[in-house]
Structure 1
């Protein structure tokens, strides 16, 4: 029976934990309205897009997937799960992703920021019930720490973006950020293989945790994805421009 169920759990995990994952690399616990507004008023930026015909086809496929599969799932989830509960879950998984931010802050030579990330993690874990409550929001030095990820680290190291890519399910990205996403995946504790060391922590439980993480972040991710498409003459260009601007700004922080 387990071998029969596993493919379905795996598929759900890929859809909910992945889409559109590259757009959401280290998505803030609460989307910045200013960033969303900037995306809405996008300007066309120069980017290498040698695979544009294929990218556009995948973009169209993803649009259908998001609109007819993930968006209804997201709406159903927000109706069933109260906002305070969703906020707590969001905070918990954001806290868990501490290694991504700490390691990449250190790799970029931002050691003070790495120390602040450690303090933020400690405060939220100990005083915030494992991270469900963001106590750090009330500490001025910990409230607004710029988030770092592996793709940004590559940018700081002056590794080029490479060509623009639109991946099935995962959405917009660049060659650099796609490799960076793999690094973030392995730095995220929810993806670590703890089954041999933690009694009762089965493959199904781990995948379920990943699904909950993706499902809970889905409304915010879709909102960020929708912002540049709204009223755009060419949604593909709008999303591409918004993504590149967003990631370039993140590297410079």
Structure 2
């Protein structure tokens, strides 16, 4: 079985249930390896349908303050690219069903060595990649090699991606399409549902892939509203802030899982 098929199976199952997916983002190694692993392991039981695991990087240019600080906490705790893959391996020892996508920037992958990274990612149990600073003009760098390894390459469609460029952006995409709901960085202003609904409708004219909406979604009400017309809703900064605010590792784990349960309930009410 191709591990990347976890995404296809999960979205097909949720379509049959007529509900959108909850996609949760956390940063690998934040605030430390063991706490991060405990958070990761508990996300599916709390209601996460797909997990995005951030690869810490020192210059996360598409991310807002919350995820920037999370990356810094992880790096200061000693998190490396190899340890991020070890988190995935440890997660897979207990969970072979939940799709897991690595999200981040090309530099850590390039420094690790692309071919070695893809080989190790497959063995660890990674299903997909979101690499925000590699446009389709550089598909030969990572997107196409990832596909050859059976790893989905998820593309971002932003509010500035016009109809002329969309076919190029989506040409080699797989897994799902990440619809950026607002112009700006992660954790910014809340999206306007009417605008996002129009954007999702336009995207559906160009792809048959599931469409996940993210950026600026912070609570159950927002998630449920956007889930009415999308295939998935992505929540990241709000979860990462739970870690930032926590007084102890136990508090961080409880807060992330608690918010995930609330968001999952919103997904069940979305349709």
TM over 0.5: no
The normalised TM-score by structure 1 is 0.30
The normalised TM-score by structure 2 is 0.29
Greater strand share, structure number: 2
Greater radius of gyration (CA): 1
Greater helix share, structure number: 1
